[in-house]
A and B are shown apart, each in its own frame.
Chain A
């Protein structure tokens, strides 16, 4: 068991180690002192407020990572999370602002709307693949452009509410459609939190993570998905319908992608506006890679990326280095992780093979005995 744990931990730890070394070099080249940079980041990053902000950042990253991972699990490269969530966010914001419902129900309707829009937009790519054999990378890239540059820009201009502020924004969602902050709960265990609020949507993200894990590993749908990803021909021979699998993966991934914009929408902005956070879809790809498509791994990946994003602000404030240095760190972590995973996987496979070979060698004399005992049941 400890060996298993070693294999699980070896790669990410090695990746972070390598990333630290390379980042230090970059910092040195940039004329900064890596030790002071790291210690400043650490000091700032371990503050309760920064951690809350990190969690707020990690929540959408996590959802985005899960959305990507669902596709990855069956070898579908759904890079359309970006378009799916931005489109879902604006439509959910509009629906949320236009309706009036009691608190919990209101939020629920917004969530379901966002999931439906995400699923629909992602499903388009699935439909194109199933009917016209269009590769999902091509179609999702195109759908991203159509959604973000086309539909969302258009909707934003149409739905913009002219008001005193010159801000381009939709009408705000009434308070019944907000997700309460979790500060009260956190403060029970810690101290008073200043300025920032822990968005309640993190609980939804946890539920999504659990459902993802159970669905993929403990249900037939998940098995069919994984089997199709591992070996489509064998999966077809086993009775899975490849087209149905593609649609399932795309629709499920899209539904989760639809949630990516909601932590911000329901937790703080309460309206879709020009400043709404974008690019989370692409970050999700990195997070899914780092987390190896595993529910917990993705959570760690999302936290690391979120933390780097948040803690890096201090670099500029303290004059250590430009905060963009963090983008280099994130990139290096991904590269190092991919390499480390491959190395560890190779080693694990080799050991497994020799263990199996050892079992073969040990079990002499061979077949005859077992054959005579065996029978059709």
Chain B
């Protein structure tokens, strides 16, 4: 039987860089084929070529045994290839139904046939277990649901070969499971799925075949049963990798951050923190686990000063920070690695050196007397950060948007850690970055701890939490419901506390 997709010797050059170098990819019909590689390895380019968004400079492309040339995604769609982008392309103010039919509306004498569209969507949804209310506004949907809309959109256009670009990057564990269930259903129905991912355990769980790409080249194609996550990671980066394990304890009894019965509301005024009490010591990493939306984001915002407390207190070095502005807290020594680096952590079109100032723009070495920007010393400092933290960039004059996600994150981590901080808040510091950058960030967090910083680590990656933390607390519905010893807890146990299935003090339910 002919391969669903066969890419042979695909080469794609951009000015000064080869994104794909004689890539070979063979995807059997009806399989789930994962493409793994670091950020910048050339996975996305390859998928864009397959979807007709870009044209290869060299090489052949065969779909269902026929050689094809795509000029635009239309050609790909005509051959029943569909793509779900990492950043969703949905109109927030339209309903699910309207979004799905957008661009390929079924019409009846020139009028959109909504009844037909609705019937078709429900049919598609039912066939693959993709349940969603067609009349919901997209803006009210959870991320996982939005992704389902994107998938339905692609199926609605008759796709048999689906390309999913890092589908799990934005999802929480429960949503990932849901997605995988959907993917298996699709496979049963005879669809072929190509998906990009760099979370290795996920790849091993779902994929039938894995192709690893590194620096634009195909490194190997393997079966999940033949490899371990460690093997895969090494294939991806070409060398051995550290694991997120902290070494000997550096915890002291000096309290840096203390929250006492802190309460806060979300933007709509409903309580999101319900009396959180915690302490973080010098040289300690406190891990905060929890299903997203249980108040972690609000806690972080309350500490950094972006969200006012409605009760209780949070103090830094024994000083209650009531009424302190974000800037004052920054100046007092709080570093912040935000969970959404593009939205919260970067000025995309600004050069790196101006990004390295962000959050520290009132302090040396970036300004003199709190007023005059000292561009030279800011540049020098940025160069040091770039060097020390392994940010790969041609210079510090490059705009931040030119860097890959991992390099952006390394810049942010470097920026926060090279500043004079005593408390570091790291919210999902390794989300969406490749294993190489991930290892670098872990290493830096360990350095931070060893250097005597107090670190608050919020993460959805349970391995990361267990591996790095000195102490673990679990957040559920705005409260800390458990304190655990990371040395003695498994991800499974942790998951039980996170969902409320286990309660500390009581027995397992």
Where the two chains meet, the residues of A that have a C-beta atom closer than 8 Å to any C-beta of B are 217-224, 226-227, 230-231, 233-241, 349, 351-361, 363-377
A351–B359 contact, CB under 8 A?
Answer: no
A325 to B422, CA, bound (A): 65
A3 → chain B closest CB, angstroms: 12
Partner of B387, one of A217, A233, A370: A370
Q: Which residues on B sit within 8 Å (CB–CB) of A223?
A: 354, 357, 361, 373
A239–B327 contact, CB under 8 A?
Answer: yes
A43 → chain B closest CB, angstroms: 43
Q: Residue among A218, A222, A239, A355 with the most chain B CB within 10 A?
A: A239
B162 → chain A closest CB, angstroms: 27
Inter-chain pairs besides A220-B370, A235-B358, A366-B436, 18 sampled, C-beta below 8 Å: A220-B362, A220-B373, A224-B361, A227-B358, A230-B349, A231-B343, A234-B358, A239-B329, A239-B331, A240-B327, A354-B15, A355-B394, A356-B398, A361-B215, A365-B238, A368-B439, A371-B439, A377-B417
Sampled A-B contacts (22; CB under 8 Å): A218-B375, A220-B372, A221-B371, A223-B354, A226-B350, A230-B347, A237-B304, A237-B326, A237-B344, A238-B359, A241-B326, A351-B15, A356-B402, A358-B16, A358-B17, A358-B394, A361-B40, A365-B238, A368-B439, A370-B388, A370-B390, A371-B440
Partner of B401, one of A238, A353, A370: A353
B239–A231 contact, CB under 8 A?
Answer: no
A8 to B343, CA, bound (A): 28
Q: Residue among B19, B238, B329, B392 with the most chain A CB within 10 A?
A: B392
Partner of B345, one of A230, A237, A373: A237
B359–A239 contact, CB under 8 A?
Answer: yes
Partner of B216, one of A361, A363, A373: A361
Whether B315 is near chain A, meaning CB under 8 Å from some CB there, is no
A1 → chain B closest CB, angstroms: 12
B77 → chain A closest CB, angstroms: 25
A234–B344 contact, CB under 8 A?
Answer: yes
B390–A233 contact, CB under 8 A?
Answer: no
Whether B443 is near chain A, meaning CB under 8 Å from some CB there, is yes
Nearest B residue to A376, CB-CB? B451
Q: Which residues on A sit within 8 Å (CB–CB) of B329?
A: 239
* Binary interface encoding of chain B residues 137-158 relative to chain A, with 1 for a CB under 8 A from any of its CBs, else 0: 0000000000000000000000
B394–A356 contact, CB under 8 A?
Answer: yes
Whether B407 is near chain A, meaning CB under 8 Å from some CB there, is yes
Q: Which residues on A sit within 8 Å (CB–CB) of B330?
A: 238-239
Q: Which residues on B sit within 8 Å (CB–CB) of A231?
A: 343, 346-348
A374–B372 contact, CB under 8 A?
Answer: no
A370–B389 contact, CB under 8 A?
Answer: yes
Given A238-B358, A356-B403, A376-B447, CB of A365 within 8 Å of CB of B394: no
Q: Residue among B16, B304, B360 with the most chain A CB within 10 A?
A: B16
A209 → chain B closest CB, angstroms: 19
B215–A364 contact, CB under 8 A?
Answer: yes
A366–B349 contact, CB under 8 A?
Answer: no
Q: Which residues on A sit within 8 Å (CB–CB) of B367?
A: 220
A92 → chain B closest CB, angstroms: 30
A234 to B327, CA, bound (A): 13
CB under 8 Å from chain A, chain B span 284-314:
304, 306
Whether B243 is near chain A, meaning CB under 8 Å from some CB there, is no
B348–A374 contact, CB under 8 A?
Answer: no
Cβ-closest 4 pairs across A and B:
A239-B327, A370-B390, A376-B451, A358-B16
Whether B448 is near chain A, meaning CB under 8 Å from some CB there, is yes
